[in-house]
Amino acid sequence: MTEEIIWYRSGYKYQLAKDYVTTVAIVGRTAASAFIALAEDGQLQIVRGYAWDGPSGPAVDTKNFMRGSLVHDALYQLMREGLLDSEQYRAVADKELQRICLEDGMSRLRAWWVYTAVKSFGGPSSWVETPIETAPFRGNI
């Protein structure tokens, strides 16, 4: 039997082509979802196929912003899924974005602006799940 409807989430521009592993400042906590795994030692693994929207808002998608946006989006997704407490870890995720952007060559001024923007306006992104849509249109759930 085939289903004549698809279920999807919109808003993604990029898809990871190879697994990515890095270390973040969230230690002593584990969390895992379909494409993301956070180990107790702070090792964050994001699996090939993970989709994210890149830098948000009026930001420009530059090379020195991509890795930071990937890690930040993955950490926020763990918060949206209830696997990390947003009140406890949101500030850490925001600082990780700034740190990675600086490591990747972003100017200090722009990295400060990026950090200030997510700190000021990113809250809902850490707890509001993207709605599931259907096609052909049958309403959203």
86-117 residue pLDDT tens: 999 999 999 999 999 999 999 999 999 999 99
Quote the pLDDT of residue 5: 81
Q: Check if the beta carbon of residue 51 is closer than 8 Å to that of residue 17.
A: no
Residue 125 lies in a domain: no
Residue 124 lies in a domain: no
Q: Domain residues for 107?
A: 9-119
Token duo for residue 50: 């993970």
pTM: 0.86
d(CA 44, CA 46): 7
Residue 137 lies in a domain: no
Closest CA to 73 of 20, 109, 28, 29: 20
Residue 57 lies in a domain: yes
Bond from prior residue into 136 cis (ω within 30 degrees of 0)? yes
State the chain's mean pLDDT as an integer: 89
pLDDT (mean) for 18-38: 97
- Summarize pLDDT for 35-72 with one digit per residue, the tens: 999 999 999 999 999 999 889 877 888 999 999 999 99
Q: How many distinct structural domains can be found in the chain?
A: 1
